[in-house]
Structure 1
Amino acid sequence: MALPEQGGDVEVARKRFELPPDVRHQRDADLDAALLHTVLDALPSPTVLLDPDGIIAMTNRVWVTSGEEHGTIIPPGADYYAAATAVHGDAEGHALVRSLRTLARGECDAVAVDREVPSPSDEKPRWYHVQASRVGIYGHVVVTHTDVTARVLAERTSLWRARHDHLTGLPNRAHLHELIDEELGRGDQAPVAVLFLDVDGFKDVNDSLGHDVGDDLLRQLAARLAECTRAGDTVGRLGGDEFVVIGRDCDEDGALALAQRFHDSFDRPFDLAGRTARLTASIGVATTDGSGTCVRSTDLVRDADLAMYAAKAAGRNRVEVFTPDLRTAAEQRATLAGELLLAIERDELVLHYQPVMGLPSRRCTGVEALVRWQHPERGLLYPGDFLPTARQHDLMTPLARWVLREATRQTAAWRDAGLVLVTGVNINATHFTSGTLVDDVMGALADAGLDACQLVVELTETSVADDPERAAAQFAELRTRGVEVSIDDFGSGFSSIGQLVNMPAGVLKIDRSLVAFTEGRRRQTAAAIAAVVALGQACGIRSLAEGVETAEQLDLAESLGCSFAQGYHIARPMPAGELPSWIAAHPPATIPVALV
């Protein structure tokens, strides 16, 4: 059809093809709605368009399919605000609705929250990240719902694992402190008790039956402790065989009653890989005093721990309540440990030497080096005054290294002065297990210029029993290099004949508890010593009787075949400078009957 060429005719033609305003407005609205619907359908998450009053004006396909899948279809025309309140409950639902109304009024730019949506069936709830934006100027809001269930569950699992012991499922150290601080911060001054429980002999279970059985024992312990607690109490595991119980609204009497229930639960034997085992526990108790004084969780746990160690020291299988004296003693030990470390560095330690007599010559053949501490303020301290602190603060190995260096140096000085002796040095189990024993011994000998045959390394029977294979390997290497090895305090513990037979030692020191005998027990004592001497001889090991206090004990040791003896009847330990004059009064053999 040809259009007219005149301008007026063109305007007439244009008007003929132009839509009426109402029709054109409807067309534009339809196009906008179709475009918006297309955009919503392109979104991967369930999405709705709300009018200013919270009525659902439009949904996308994912909203419909998700609703069908979970049985929660909410169609266009429904009140989203009412549905949100019904799904999330009053608190969460009203909070979400308030946020969306604020957004619709243009009083904020966006809304973004995570919401839990319970399932209408028995399925687990799901979590959605709800994100809303305002559209246009009339208060319409687009709300998307992104399923973040996997993320939330992963976060919660990670958080749970970070706060719980993986083996027993109990709260771990960090979470226990959180729970205790939470109780202490309630402000109602209700008493809080902390019970610190340690299993007596747990290490023996691990060593004899293996760590898998030990783990099973820990799970059994966790279950038993949980059975004994009251509603509202919490059982947690600090680590190893140490458990902590939080007693809420629990005073000292209540805590002691709770501890007694724990002890009673140990009366039942444990089933360990088909074996029946009976165990005990040492328990420490600490409570708040209700005075409102600021207390931290670390304070309560520390105090309960100190009380537990007091129970151990008192004989195990006991309950001890914390007292300020325990804290004072702990502070003193910590101070003493720091001073002892400096004492090692400053050479404040000294060695006293106790003569060892060869039998039957009854002449001094060697000495045992015994450490003392010349404290600048407290005077001369004996081992019982500082060795427990050294053990507790891991100072036994540096202490033993100092003793090795000083003893070998002094023995070399005596040799240079014409006095040839064999010196025994005690080694603690921690040094023995460190793996540096052989290197430390040989280094001390080299620095002093002393022959290996003039040194005896002494380890207690219990130290050897802790790890006999490692002991045997290090003993063998020391003897190969010319250093003699002695097993000290034999007979003071549960001596293992099998271990003795396989142990490459040259001297067996019979503990003073066997050597000493009361009136009327001489025959039994003689039989015990004779058995040990015979056992040693069968293994190629010579015997030394310790703690000889009387002439009768010395005669008995000699008559039963002991090779050596030492004790106060022979001589007390003495400073190095006094030893030559003592030996001058007891002339040594021209060729010493050495311990090697």
Structure 2
Amino acid sequence: MRRRADDQPGAALLVEAVLDALPSPTLLVDSSGTVLLANAAWQMAAEVIADDRFRVAVGGNYFALALQIRDDEHTRELVAGVREVSMGLRDSVTADYPVPLPSGTRWYHLQASRVDEAGSIVVTHTDVTTRVHAQRASAWQARHDALTGLPNRAYLHELIDADLAAPGRTPAVLFLDLDGFKEVNDSLGHDTGDDLLREVAARLTAAVRERDTVGRLGGDEFVILSRGCSAVDAAALAERLRATVERPFELAGRVIRLGASIGIAGTSGHRYLRSTDLVRDADLAMYSAKAAGRNRVHVFSPDLRDAAERRASLAAELRDALVRDELVLHYQPVVHLPTGRCTGMEALVRWQHPEHGLLQPGEFLPTAHAHDLMTPLARWVMTEATRQIAEWARIGIALVVAINISAEQFSSGTLVEDVFAALTTAGVPPELLVVELTETSVAEDPELAAEQMAELRRRGVEVSIDDFGSGFSSLAQLVSLPAGVLKIDRSLVNFTEGNRDRAAAAIAAVVALGQACGIRSLAEGVESAGQLALARELGCIFAQGFHIARPMPADDVPGWVLAHRDALAPAPPGEFAHFGVR
């Protein structure tokens, strides 16, 4: 400790002892900035730092020392604040400041307080490097994606909002969704999926311009903020990003191929005020690219937003429709080919919209799927279909009715409970109801689906697999799923004379495959006498299609059945118990 020469020995010793007791490097400075005392912690810190600038001597100037270490606006403001404390204009000054050293920047917390009327001040310097680094790491983590290190959703919106607020800026946003990523996760596992996302992030970052920002919203969705970007530039950037994702990835000893559906917004001349609007429009454009065939680029246009608003409005109306009894079921007959007799009906949902008339499933089921309405819709169908079975039974018409089951219904885990609740309420035996599924509806959790299907069949409800032969058909799933009927997709059944032989070969193969698994076949989409004859010739047990009958309201079914009863032979005994269609 160094002391002033004019200090009283007793007072000086007391001050020295107090300052030396402080753990932080501390100086006693007079009103002009002259260093009067430096405690032992200061001297020790100076030795550790090994920088001559910190070896301050009594009589040296603290203010000059501070500016010598770091001469910038922040330091000058800090020195001015310490002077104000000395002059009595402020009670104290506290601030964190960086000190650049050869070993790296260290951070100190400065606190200055006046100690006498002469303007002397005590200035402590506490090393807070660890705290600052922890705070910065926490702040970085709060704004960045933990997996890829890219800006996260919150930080992206912050960056986009800042760019939108800047005068003269015209940012564009590209919304990128990977095509085929879910299949990678499902087949190779989430660890490989995470590695793939990191690789995609690195490629996207390398493909953009230096002034652009790549961020990850979550899952396999990425957003690119492109600053000062024209419509032509944005389109070129999107194609470059799509091409870089298309290049094969080599992970887990395998070659992985992906695509990218990309939407662009912000280049149409419309002035956006909020990042949420800009990202939303880019998202809408991305979904349009995906709907057009995937691995494409689409630029936002106002009609996409109008369509989205209509879908949202339709979803709200559909929720109300479930309560207001606006939904109806139409029924399409299914014929037992060996006898020619109608043995059941396929229940098809329709919406009697108060303004738009009778809507077909394709006009509202996608909306139901997107807004989590498939499960309540399926429960309504179960309730209405079983009620109708009971109603027909009361007038002497026994018909098996099949209903559709969605992926959401399987994943809910309540399928069996829902089915038997409807059967019990209507007083209908289980053998008069069939549930039908597609392979895609059980893809997310085949084991859970198989358990529920097996329980349904054990308790008397038949199960049918729909659309077999369209797209990818998994033989493994056909073997593992406990189904009783296999519906041959209309794309195979609805042949022309030019491809009759090839269609016949495909139908025969599916029929034989079903027979080998103990499953009967149903030809759907029969639209001509020739198609019906071929289905019967090749061993299909059931058939349905416009050639037999179009879907009809429930009130028309008894008349149709009675009109065809005399012309058709009786069904074999017990056939009802084994019938299964959609």
**Cα contact 2:263–2:286 (8 A) shared by 1:** yes
**Cα contact 2:266–2:272 (8 A) shared by 1:** no
Q: Which residue of 1 aligns with 2:325?
A: 347
Q: Which residue of 2 aligns with 1:78?
A: 60
Give me the CA root mean square deviation.
Answer: 1.4
Deviation for aligned residue 1:593:
3.2
How do 1:305-384 and structure 2 match up within 5 A?
Answer: 305-384=283-362
Which 5+ residue runs of structure 1 have no aligned equivalent? 1-25
Q: SS of 1:89's equivalent?
A: coil
Q: SS of 1:356's equivalent?
A: strand
Deviation for aligned residue 1:388:
0.9
How do 1:114-133 and structure 2 match up within 5 A?
Answer: 114-119=96-101, 121=102, 123-133=103-113
Equivalent of 2:27 in 39, 48, 55: 48
Matched, 1:458 2:429: no
Deviation for aligned residue 1:519:
2.2
How do 1:211-290 and structure 2 match up within 5 A?
Answer: 211-289=190-268
**Cα contact 2:329–2:348 (8 A) shared by 1:** yes
Q: SS of 1:62's equivalent?
A: helix
CA distance in 2 between counterparts of 1:278 and 1:270 reads 6
Q: Which residue of 2 aligns with 1:37?
A: 16
Equivalent of 2:95 in 110, 113, 120: 113
Task: Name which of structure 1's ranges 161-170 and 408-417 shifts more when overlaid on structure 2.
Answer: 408-417
Q: Which residue of 2 aligns with 1:173?
A: 153
CA distance in 2 between counterparts of 1:441 and 1:115 reads 69
**Cα contact 1:85–1:92 (8 A) shared by 2:** no
CA distance in 2 between counterparts of 1:52 and 1:73 reads 21
CA distance in 2 between counterparts of 1:112 and 1:245 reads 40
CA distance in 2 between counterparts of 1:170 and 1:391 reads 31
Normalising by structure 1, we get a TM-score of: 0.93
Q: Which residue of 2 aligns with 1:138?
A: 118
Task: Name which of structure 1's ranges 380-389 and 466-475 shifts more when overlaid on structure 2.
Answer: 466-475
**Cα contact 1:84–1:96 (8 A) shared by 2:** no
**Cα contact 1:167–1:219 (8 A) shared by 2:** yes
How do 1:398-437 and structure 2 match up within 5 A?
Answer: 398-437=376-415
Q: SS of 1:586's equivalent?
A: helix
Q: SS of 2:159's equivalent?
A: helix
CA distance in 1 between counterparts of 2:529 and 2:575 reads 21
CA distance in 2 between counterparts of 1:77 and 1:341 reads 82
Q: SS of 2:71's equivalent?
A: helix
Q: Which residue of 2 aligns with 1:490?
A: 468
Q: Which residue of 2 aligns with 1:389?
A: 367
Normalising by structure 2, we get a TM-score of: 0.95
CA distance in 1 between counterparts of 2:63 and 2:26 reads 15
CA distance in 1 between counterparts of 2:510 and 2:355 reads 44
> Deviations 1:512-544 (Å, cap 9, x if unpaired)?
001011222111111111110111111110111
Percent identity, aligned pairs only, is 63
CA distance in 1 between counterparts of 2:445 and 2:176 reads 26
Amino acid aligned to 1:117:
V
> Deviations 1:169-227 (Å, cap 9, x if unpaired)?
00000000001011111112x22110000110100000011111101110110011011
Equivalent of 1:185 in 148, 157, 165: 165
**Cα contact 1:512–1:547 (8 A) shared by 2:** yes
Q: Which residue of 1 aligns with 2:139?
A: 159
Equivalent of 1:197 in 176, 181, 186: 176
Deviation for aligned residue 1:288:
4.8
**Cα contact 1:365–1:592 (8 A) shared by 2:** no
Q: SS of 1:520's equivalent?
A: helix
Deviation for aligned residue 1:592:
7.2
Deviation for aligned residue 1:103:
0.6
Q: SS of 1:343's equivalent?
A: helix
Q: SS of 1:543's equivalent?
A: strand
> Deviations 1:335-381 (Å, cap 9, x if unpaired)?
00010011112211000011111112111100011000011111111
Q: 1:95 to 1:370 in 2, by over 3 A?
A: same
CA distance in 1 between counterparts of 2:525 and 2:71 reads 80
Q: Which residue of 2 aligns with 1:59?
A: 38
Q: SS of 1:315's equivalent?
A: coil
CA distance in 2 between counterparts of 1:556 and 1:173 reads 57
Q: How many residues in Structure 1 have an aligned counterpart in Structure 2?
A: 567
CA distance in 2 between counterparts of 1:220 and 1:37 reads 60
Q: SS of 2:70's equivalent?
A: helix
**Cα contact 1:259–1:283 (8 A) shared by 2:** yes
How do 1:505-524 and structure 2 match up within 5 A?
Answer: 505-524=483-502
**Cα contact 1:529–1:560 (8 A) shared by 2:** yes
Which 5+ residue runs of structure 2 have no aligned equivalent? none
CA distance in 1 between counterparts of 2:518 and 2:540 reads 13
List, as ranges, runs of 4+ consecutive aligned residues in structure 1 with deviation greater than 6 Å. Answer: none
Matched, 1:92 2:74: yes
Which is greater in Rg?
1
Amino acid aligned to 2:104:
K
CA distance in 2 between counterparts of 1:294 and 1:490 reads 47
Amino acid aligned to 2:201:
A
Amino acid aligned to 2:33:
G
Amino acid aligned to 1:110:
S
**Cα contact 1:458–1:487 (8 A) shared by 2:** yes
